């Protein structure tokens, strides 16, 4: 079914965007909020959970005063890349970078005709600016008391605050290319302005044409510009299940593990705060990432030792030598086994060539490795018994599939009416989840179809680049199998 061609869904209610004044009781206790987060398999919006957070007032003007004089790195991109005028994703390796203060950013963002300073070479009508991935511990290194303004403890994570968070400040059109995060799940608190999120479930990975170029540890990118997809080159994307929501100030978005997402700022200034929540599956994911890092760095540095900028994301600043990567891999495997020794473990599933899974009964490794992907969507009470009632309502709204035609058929994403597509009664929620076995079969079928379509669309291609090879070698499904084989071999 084509991405974005599902049944019509109602718009999200503005319960979390305003209306919190005078509210004294939060809709979920910390325990209940954590239970929801650990059980949900679909993105959802938490409303009325942060009305008492001091960080609610962290607009860009306030932050410019707190960070007065501090220079921040802004990523500069073309607005034309955000409006469906190109079919090529705007990866971070193709962007320019500017060191500037928030005061200078706000002055430039007012669209003054004669601007001086760091932004002088960037016409505001043509460029956007994004201060993304700004870790609190680096940004507020001499103002650590401000960490307490963010209270993730309200979502069931005691002691978690700004110290484990990152800040994102952008102008209209600023966006992050479509990608999935290898580790954890994600909580995103929208402070100022609105952001539109395009999300795709993990089982759609073959339809998103994953790539590790540009390389960034823990980020798997899509080759597709999801706001204006090239369906001739990437025909399988038509089968992707696009979910969309516009996140407004005061709302918190929950993004489950391995959900793909493309995020764009749709207001003149946006401010967001997020925190990635660690999961048990991350121990295996770190082994997979170490394998990926070693393969990518080995092939790409051998290809062109003097030009890492062409393939290495600017955010990736760690040493990429083979010796360092070997240490990284060994440390990841050791940490995996250390965790196994302290876990209640039973088995690991070993891959078979016929697509079946063979249980390794004698191997005491991670019976719960797939928790978060295959776990029940039923929530439980404190007694461990399933609840009959749905958790959804005015304060917890699932993000549902989009009901409109693909962006390429309507002149770009900014031609939309700005509505948020969600299912307030939660009926759509259960329809996305089939048995794990069926997901595997669907993924294998999709890979075969993708290979067949590639063969028919490019019959004359004779040159195989390292990028082509890497797309196969470090495909997330391949690295999962390699990680399992590596761990089994070390445990025998």
Q: What is the pLDDT along the chain (492 residues), one digit of tens a residue?
A: 444 444 333 334 333 444 444 457 999 999 999 999 999 999 999 999 999 999 999 999 999 999 999 999 999 999 986 666 789 999 999 999 999 999 999 999 986 656 778 999 999 999 999 999 999 999 999 999 999 999 999 999 999 999 999 999 999 999 999 999 999 999 999 999 999 999 999 999 999 999 999 999 999 999 999 999 999 999 999 999 999 999 999 999 999 999 999 999 999 999 999 999 999 999 999 999 999 999 999 999 999 888 888 899 988 888 888 889 999 999 998 999 889 888 755 444 544 444 344 333 333 333 333 333 333 334 433 334 444 467 899 999 999 898 654 444 333 433 333 334 333 333 332 322 333 334 434 544 554 555 455 544 444 445 767 787 688 888 988 999 999 888 877 765
Burial 132-146 (b: 16+ CB within 10 A, else e): bebebeebbeeeeeb
Long-range pairs, 64-71, Cβ under 8 A, ≥24: 64/101, 64/102, 64/103, 64/105, 64/106, 66/140, 66/143, 66/146, 67/101, 67/102, 67/139, 67/140, 68/101, 68/103, 69/101, 70/101, 70/102, 70/139, 71/99, 71/100, 71/101
Whole-number Cα distances in Å, 348 to 28, 50, 351, 367, 475: 35, 40, 10, 6, 21
DSSP 208: G
CA dist 311 and 216 (Å) reads 9
- Which three-class secondary structure state does DSSP give residue 220? strand
Torsion of the alpha carbons at 92, 86, 204 and 293, rounded to the nearest 10? -20
Report H helices in 397-475. 436-457, 466-473
Q: Angle at CA 444, nearest 5°, toward 441 and 449? A: 125
DSSP 480: H
143: nearest Cα among 69, 82, 211: 69
First-last CA distance in the chain = 44
Helix, strand, coil shares of the chain as percentages rounded to 5? Answer: 35, 20, 45
Give me 184's structure tokens: 């954890």
Element (H, E) at 77: strand 72-78
DSSP 362: T
CA dist 87 and 100 (Å) reads 30
Burial 444-483 (b: 16+ CB within 10 A, else e): eebeeebeeebeeeeeeeeeeebbeebbebbbbebbbebb
Task: Please report the pLDDT score of residue 426 as a whole number.
Answer: 35
Element (H, E) at 180: strand 175-181
Please identify which residue in the block is written with the tokens 């929208």: 190
Q: How many CB atoms lie within 10 A of CB 116?
A: 10
Task: Please report the pLDDT score of residue 449 as a whole number.
Answer: 57
* pTM of the model as a whole: 0.76
Q: What is the CA radius of gyration of the chain?
A: 22
Report H helices in 67-122. 102-109
Sign of the torsion angle spanned by Cα atoms 223, 225, 231, 235 = positive
Identify the bridge partners of residue 262 per DSSP, sorted by sequence position: 198
């Amino acid at each position: 079914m084509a991405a974005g061609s599902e049944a019509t869904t109602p718009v999200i209610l503005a319960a979390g965007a305003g209306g919190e004044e005078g509210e004294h009781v939060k809709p979920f206790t910390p325990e209940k909020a954590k239970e929801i987060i650990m059980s949900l398999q679909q993105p959802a919006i938490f409303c009325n959970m942060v009305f008492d957070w001091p960080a609610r007032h962290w607009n860009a003007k306030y932050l410019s005063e707190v960070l007065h004089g501090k220079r921040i790195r802004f990523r500069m991109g073309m607005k034309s890349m955000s409006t469906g005028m190109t079919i090529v994703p705007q990866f971070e390796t193709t962007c320019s970078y500017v060191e500037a203060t928030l005061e200078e950013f706000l002055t430039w963002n007012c669209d003054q005709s004669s601007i001086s300073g760091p932004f002088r070479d960037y016409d505001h009508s043509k460029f956007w600016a994004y201060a993304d991935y700004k870790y609190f511990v680096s940004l507020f290194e001499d103002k650590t008391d401000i960490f307490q303004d963010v209270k993730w403890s309200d979502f069931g994570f005691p002691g978690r605050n700004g110290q484990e968070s990152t800040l994102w400040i952008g102008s209209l059109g600023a966006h992050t290319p479509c990608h999935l995060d290898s580790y954890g799940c994600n909580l995103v608190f929208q402070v100022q302005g609105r952001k539109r999120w395009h999300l795709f479930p993990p089982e759609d990975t073959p339809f998103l044409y994953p790539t590790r170029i540009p390389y960034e540890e823990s980020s798997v990118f899509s080759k597709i510009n999801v706001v204006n997809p090239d369906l001739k080159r990437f025909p399988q994307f038509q089968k992707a299940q696009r979910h969309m929501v516009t996140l407004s100030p005061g709302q918190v978005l929950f993004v489950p593990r391995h959900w793909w997402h493309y995020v764009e700022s749709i207001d003149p200034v946006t401010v967001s705060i997020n925190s990635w929540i660690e999961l048990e599956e991350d121990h295996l994911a770190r082994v997979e990432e170490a394998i990926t890092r070693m393969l990518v760095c080995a092939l790409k540095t051998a290809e062109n030792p003097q030009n890492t900028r062409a393939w290495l994301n600017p955010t990736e600043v760690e040493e990429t030598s083979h010796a360092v990567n070997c240490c990284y891999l060994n440390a990841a495997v050791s940490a995996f086994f250390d965790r196994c020794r302290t876990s209640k473990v039973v088995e690991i599933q070993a891959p078979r060539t016929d697509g079946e899974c063979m249980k390794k009964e004698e191997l005491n490794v991670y019976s719960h490795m797939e928790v978060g992907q295959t776990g029940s969507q039923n929530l439980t009470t404190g007694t461990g018994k399933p609840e009959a009632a749905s958790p959804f309502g005015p304060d917890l709204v699932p993000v549902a599939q989009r009901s409109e035609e693909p962006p390429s058929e309507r002149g770009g994403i900014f031609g939309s009416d700005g509505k948020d597509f969600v299912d307030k009664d939660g009926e759509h929620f259960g329809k996305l989840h089939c048995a794990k076995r069926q997901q595997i079969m669907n993924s294998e079928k999709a890979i075969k179809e993708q290979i067949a379509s590639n063969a028919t669309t490019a019959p004359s291609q004779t040159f195989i680049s390292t990028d082509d090879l890497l797309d196969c070698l470090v495909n997330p499904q391949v690295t999962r199998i390699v990680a399992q084989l590596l761990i089994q071999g070390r445990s025998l």
